[in-house]
């Protein structure tokens, strides 16, 4: 496994819609293992393909590892099948926009379907922080970053803070 470089905003790859994964092969398994290694080293709780320059619909996540036992997930070609009407606000950070966090409102619960590394279809409901994380990573696959969820004034302020922090 290799820790890969994380793509930083405003790299245009972070604004690009990713292509579906066509085949699950040894290269994809290596990518998934590298993504998990990179996420844990960052240290983060989720990481999407474009964040390591892989423009494919894959992301990894583990929302529990910092509090206890690791429970890594690899989601290939994920799609939200259902969203709750209830909304929740979470503080979200992003490994591609280090040092910036923002309050983002999203559906409080989502049901997601994906293919796992064995080629099996999985379906699971996510709530709480895990629901925010899965939606955040899905956003990356659609070329959406945290800044895209903000009001113009908040976005401008946080972009300025980020620009100052990375100088």
Q: Alpha-carbon torsion 59, 64, 65, 71, what sign?
A: negative
The pLDDT tens digits along the chain (167 residues) read: 899 999 999 999 999 999 999 999 999 999 999 999 999 999 999 999 999 999 999 999 999 888 888 999 999 999 999 999 999 999 999 999 999 999 999 999 999 999 999 999 999 999 999 999 999 999 999 999 999 999 999 999 999 989 988 87
- Report pLDDT for 121: 98
* 24 closest CA partner among 111, 144, 121: 121
Instruction: Report how far residue 161's alpha carbon sits from residue 22's, in angstroms, rounded to the nearest whole number.
Output: 39
| Backbone angle region of 10, left / alpha / beta, with phi > 0 → left and psi within -120 to 50 → alpha | alpha
Cβ partners under 8 Å of residue 30, min gap 6: none
Give how far Cα 91 sits from Cα of 37, 63, 81, Å.
Answer: 24, 14, 24
- Report pLDDT for 166: 81
Q: How many residues does the chain have?
A: 167
Which residues are marked as active site?
A: 137
- Report pLDDT for 52: 98
Where do the domains of the chain lie, and which CATH numbers do they carry?
12-165 (3.90.45.10)
Cβ partners under 8 Å of residue 140, min gap 6: 14, 18, 48, 49, 50, 51, 59, 96
């Amino acid at each position: 496994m290799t820790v890969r470089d994380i793509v930083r905003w405003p790299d245009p790859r972070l604004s690009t819609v990713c292509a579906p994964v066509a085949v699950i092969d040894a290269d994809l398994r290596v990518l998934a293992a590298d993504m998990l290694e990179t996420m844990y080293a960052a240290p983060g709780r989720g990481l999407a393909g474009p964040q390591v320059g892989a423009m494919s619909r894959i992301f990894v996540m583990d929302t529990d590892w910092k509090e206890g036992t690791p429970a890594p997930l690899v989601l290939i070609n994920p799609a939200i099948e259902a969203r709750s009407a209830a909304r929740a606000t979470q503080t979200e950070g992003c490994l591609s926009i280090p040092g910036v966090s923002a309050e983002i409102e999203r559906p409080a619960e989502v049901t997601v379907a994906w293919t796992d590394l064995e080629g099996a279809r999985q379906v699971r409901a996510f709530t709480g922080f895990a629901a925010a994380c899965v939606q955040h990573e899905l956003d990356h696959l659609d070329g959406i970053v945290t800044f895209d969820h903000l009001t113009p004034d908040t976005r401008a302020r946080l972009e300025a803070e980020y620009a100052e922090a990375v100088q």
